[in-house]
Structure 1
Amino acid sequence: MQGVNDLKKVSVIAIVFGIVLFTMLIPPPLNLNPRAWRVLWIAFLAVFYWSTELIPIPLTSVLIILLLVVEGILPFDKAYSYFADKVIALMLAGEVLALSLSRHGVDRYIGVKFLGFMGEKAERVVLGMMLATSTLSMWIPNTAAAAIMAPIGVGMLGLFGEERGARNLGKAMMIGIAYAATIGGLGTPVGTPPNPITISNIEKSTGVVIGFTTWMLWGIPIALILTIIAWFILIAMYKPEVEVVKGGRLTIELEARKIGLLTGRRLQALLLFLVSALLWIIDPIASQLLKDWTYIASLVVITIHILPVVGTVTWDDVSKGVDWGVLFLIAGGLALGAGFRESGLVEFLSSIAMQSLSGYSPIAIVFAISLISSLLVVAFCSITATASLAVPLGIAIARGVGLNPIIGGVAAGIASTFAFILPANTPPNAIAYSYGFFKNYEMAKAGVVLMIISVFIATLFSYFIIPIILGI
């Protein structure tokens, strides 16, 4: 049976690949140049393979880079240089940090302690779950944050016989965990792949380097605001039938006992986390002395975590525990974004967008950039693929209409994480959905409202607040 399934999978992979290669030979429409036409189809192939995972995600990234080279879009050296891009060091440091926290239970410890302050009122419990998930997601991968908090949520729901899909508390809590895991990633540059993709594209297009702390100055407020808004929406749509989660505090206490005390290696892991955060946070000062301090600090973070005696993980732990596929995914996304720029596809799409947006006010154009980016997430089912196209496009549109291109790039980057509508849009959604407490349409109903409000928030921050932070 497995052999038959593998054969079907190989057949689909081959058929789709063949169709794409054949379509590349067809003359491009709308005066699109042949190189841009080929990149468009490479992007389609990337989105299809990334979203279906018919082949491993890292292999798709290698395939993208291979096709960009073979099709003459990027030279070999440039295409493969994205595996060693500066932001890869940043994300690798984040992965090592997350591995250390997870290996010693610090992530669960923080999450459970956070929940302990929220009491047993049903609405506050949901808010507590969301805030804890969002906070974790700023420092560890979104998927990991959802995977840690979802079982805790299910345990609390099970205490008083919450049937899967039958009552509103389960819907609000589980959808809330999914949303918070996605939203929290906006808080820091290591929170989610679109953030480093945005930072890299802005530096390559404008020469402006966005440091770790600088990103946090808008990332954390946006994450906090959207988490609370998501909670309001979920409580309004799926108001819990009970006021008090009986046994909720007991669940937290039992979970805390299972985790244990903050001593020994766990305390050491927490201290290293605080040191790592401090190294990144002092970026505005340190970067005056050393250029690219954020990335230098990232290498220091990796080193201190693996060093004998001082460190909390071994190289063997890192080689097996780090999700190297995420690094490949980001490299593929960066290369694809370069392909969009080098082929003229971004220029072509931005010219069409500018014609459609001519006559509109600057803030309306920023809103349109954010909206386009958030809609691409629904279509692509990949926040990395969305950011790879949307950020260069946002930069080009902003530049074309006379706006500072950083505004367009950041707006597109932030909105490319708004994967709120479907379980398939992002792994945290899929994890929460897998427990069976809500239906597709129940997430979509809340997700549409949250996405629209989020686009407004992204627009307001990108147009009014971020320029003040960056001094542009």
Structure 2
Amino acid sequence: MALTLQQRVGRAGLILGPVLALALHFALPETFTNAQGQVVAFSLAGRATLAMMAWMATWWMTEAVDIEVTALLPIAAFPLAGIMPLARTTANYGADVIFLFLGGFVLALAIQRWGLDRRIAFATLKLVGTRPKAIVGGTMAATAFVSMWVSNTATAAMMVPIVLSVIDVALRRRTGRGLAEHGGIPLEDRDLSNFAFSALLGVAYAASIGGLGTIIGSPPNGILVRFVEQSAGIRIGFLEWMAIGVPMMLAFLPLAWFLNTTLLFPSRMGEIEGGREYVRDEWAKLGALNAGERVTLGVFAVTVVLWMSSPLLKDWSVGGMRPLAGLSDAGIAILAAIALFLLPVDRAQGIRAMDWATAQKLPWGVLILFGGGLALAAATEANGVPQYIGALAADFAGWPVWAALLAIITIMVFMSELTSNTAQVATMLPILAALAPVLGLPAGMLLVPATIAASCAFMMPVGTPPNAIVFGTGLVRMPQMIRAGLWLNLTGILVIFVLTYLVVVPTLGAGR
């Protein structure tokens, strides 16, 4: 059986990773000249760290093994190579941001378990009506909101069947036959096919865009938050991230909708006959809020309020004491998770809002991937790798700030089309942190837009899980996804670039 291109790349990467690491380790100099013209020793641990970075990046980019397996390499290799002791290495796999995501994942599973996400979706459709542009706008808005709190993969998996049902209703009203009978979307009906493409791709786009809004919305956000805290001592709280991510989301989402429905896939269809009835019937099937939904919604609301108000709560004092000084975003997330395991939904049957059978569906691999990325970032900081990279990047010092920023955002967006955005950010953050002072940029002005850019891959099915889910329906072809995605990529680059100056710099401060 012939190997696919991905399998051939993976096999080559499996060998190339350690070979490249070994070659780089022996090729790296023992000294280098820093930006001040001083000769500085480059330690054995520093050279080994850079070699391991090359190894892990190669395996991540070629997917030689599962990306979570690559993330375990530091535990075995760092102590052996003298990069970092085992205790310091494994501490990164228990970083606070990992528990922030763990609690967020439990909350998301509860939302899915009791159907609260589906209720949000149909409430939005009920509100916006059944005109094609309104349907696309409504589903994109609902998808983006849910994706702020639930993984973009789960959000897309939930929304795509809903959108397919609406498309099927529209097709039956126009032709008397549904998607199954047609064997797909009939391309001869341009208005209908454009509506279908815009609705399906809109879900993929909105799931990724919505993930920008909160720290737990997308794994790269969490990697960045932890990296800047351990490397620069700068803490980005939940509310502080929302001050950056929500404006990004609110600026990008309407532009994505406009491009999708007006320029890329315009449709002159009027209100979908039978659409209101379909939405009304599905809403009626949901009935009143069940006990599980009520409990989950209550925990969710309290958690969001605590995340947003934690800076004020930590400063609250009683009799000269601050009883909530130890409050943290991760602690709030775990308290929410514990509450879901404790709060009853049906006392008689002993059913609670969350149980361990459901919790076992947690994306544990993402948490391991976090740990590997944080371990790599910690090793680069501890062993002087940023100083060496900064010396190599001295030639970029003459670049205008705007040109350097635009180039890096563009590189991160298009690189993410072919690699895991979490692995990409874990690899690139230490490099970009070293590059920032060479370019005369505050670290935050470079790291934040670069991280956001890594979540804005819209062209390829492998770019993000939502892209893959929509492509997996078999209804969207590669040329359509690439053509539409290219415009979204370019729009995303522009939005991130502009809002870096308007939002990121004012929020984080010029010195960060």
TM-score normalised by L of structure 1? 0.89
- 1-structure distance, mates of 2:79, 2:489: 36
CA contact (8 A) 2:22 2:51 kept: no
Q: Which position in structure 1 is the counterpart of 2:215?
A: 189
Q: Does 1:256 align with 2:287?
A: no
- 1-structure distance, mates of 2:10, 2:202: 35
- 2-structure distance, mates of 1:233, 1:322: 35
Task: For residues 243-285 of structure 1, give each alpha carbon's deviation from its aligned partner in whole angstroms, at most 9, with x where no partner exists.
Answer: 3232222222222233332132211111111111111111221
- 1-structure distance, mates of 2:269, 2:399: 48
Q: Which position in structure 2 is the counterpart of 1:17?
A: 14
- 2-structure distance, mates of 1:134, 1:238: 20
**2:334 is aligned with what amino acid?**
L
Alpha-carbon spacing, 1:353–1:131, altered in 2? closer, same or farther (3 Å):
farther
Query: Which runs of structure 2 are paired with 1:66-81 in the superposition (5 Å)?
Result: 66-81=76-91
**3-state SS of paired residue (1:262):** coil
Equivalent residue for 2:332, pick from 293, 297, 314: 297
Alpha-carbon spacing, 1:240–1:350, altered in 2? closer, same or farther (3 Å):
farther
Alpha-carbon spacing, 1:77–1:259, altered in 2? closer, same or farther (3 Å):
same
- 2-structure distance, mates of 1:209, 1:193: 17
Alpha-carbon spacing, 1:208–1:22, altered in 2? closer, same or farther (3 Å):
closer
Q: Unmatched 5+ residue regions in structure 1?
A: none
Q: Does 1:369 align with 2:396?
A: no
Q: Which position in structure 2 is the counterpart of 1:443?
A: 481
Alpha-carbon spacing, 1:61–1:255, altered in 2? closer, same or farther (3 Å):
farther
**3-state SS of paired residue (1:117):** helix
CA contact (8 A) 2:374 2:426 kept: yes
Say which one has the larger Rg: 2
Equivalent residue for 1:211, pick from 224, 237, 247: 237
Deviation at 1:353? Answer: 4.6
**1:164 is aligned with what amino acid?**
I
Deviation at 1:14? Answer: 7.3
**1:71 is aligned with what amino acid?**
A
Alpha-carbon spacing, 1:165–1:46, altered in 2? closer, same or farther (3 Å):
farther
- 1-structure distance, mates of 2:275, 2:138: 11
User: Which one has a larger percent helix, Structure 1 or Structure 2?
Assistant: 1
- 1-structure distance, mates of 2:484, 2:336: 39
CA contact (8 A) 2:16 2:58 kept: no
- 2-structure distance, mates of 1:32, 1:418: 37
CA contact (8 A) 1:150 1:432 kept: yes
Task: For residues 139-175 of structure 1, give each alpha carbon's deviation from its aligned partner in whole angstroms, at most 9, with x where no partner exists.
Answer: 0000011001000000000112264372211111111
Kindly report the root-mean-square deviation, in angstroms, between the aligned alpha carbons of the 2 structures. 2.8
Deviation at 1:74? Answer: 2.9
Q: Which position in structure 1 is the counterpart of 2:374?
A: 334
**1:317 is aligned with what amino acid?**
A
CA contact (8 A) 1:391 1:410 kept: no
TM-score normalised by L of structure 2? 0.83
Alpha-carbon spacing, 1:105–1:319, altered in 2? closer, same or farther (3 Å):
closer
- 2-structure distance, mates of 1:12, 1:361: 37
Deviation at 1:340? Answer: 4.5
Alpha-carbon spacing, 1:448–1:287, altered in 2? closer, same or farther (3 Å):
farther
Task: For residues 386-425 of structure 1, give each alpha carbon's deviation from its aligned partner in whole angstroms, at most 9, with x where no partner exists.
Answer: 2112333333222223322122111111111111110111
Task: For residues 265-309 of structure 1, give each alpha carbon's deviation from its aligned partner in whole angstroms, at most 9, with x where no partner exists.
Answer: 211111111111111111221243525622221222122111253
Query: Which runs of structure 2 are paired with 1:224-373 in the superposition (5 Å)?
Result: 224-235=250-261, 236-288=263-315, 289=322, 290-291=325-326, 293-309=328-344, 312-342=352-382, 346-356=386-396, 358-373=397-412
Q: Which position in structure 1 is the counterpart of 2:190?
A: none
Q: Does 1:395 align with 2:392?
A: no
CA contact (8 A) 1:87 1:200 kept: yes
Deviation at 1:189? Answer: 0.6
Aligned length: 461
**1:355 is aligned with what amino acid?**
D
- 1-structure distance, mates of 2:450, 2:245: 14
Q: Unmatched 5+ residue regions in structure 2?
A: 31-46, 172-178, 188-192, 316-321, 346-350
The more displaced of 116-125 and 149-158 is: 116-125
The more displaced of 399-408 and 91-100 is: 399-408
Equivalent residue for 1:431, pick from 444, 447, 469: 469
The more displaced of 61-70 and 423-432 is: 61-70
Deviation at 1:457? Answer: 1.7
**3-state SS of paired residue (1:26):** helix
Deviation at 1:101? Answer: 0.6
- 1-structure distance, mates of 2:389, 2:126: 50
Alpha-carbon spacing, 1:318–1:75, altered in 2? closer, same or farther (3 Å):
farther
- 2-structure distance, mates of 1:48, 1:141: 24
Equivalent residue for 1:44, pick from 34, 58, 80: 58
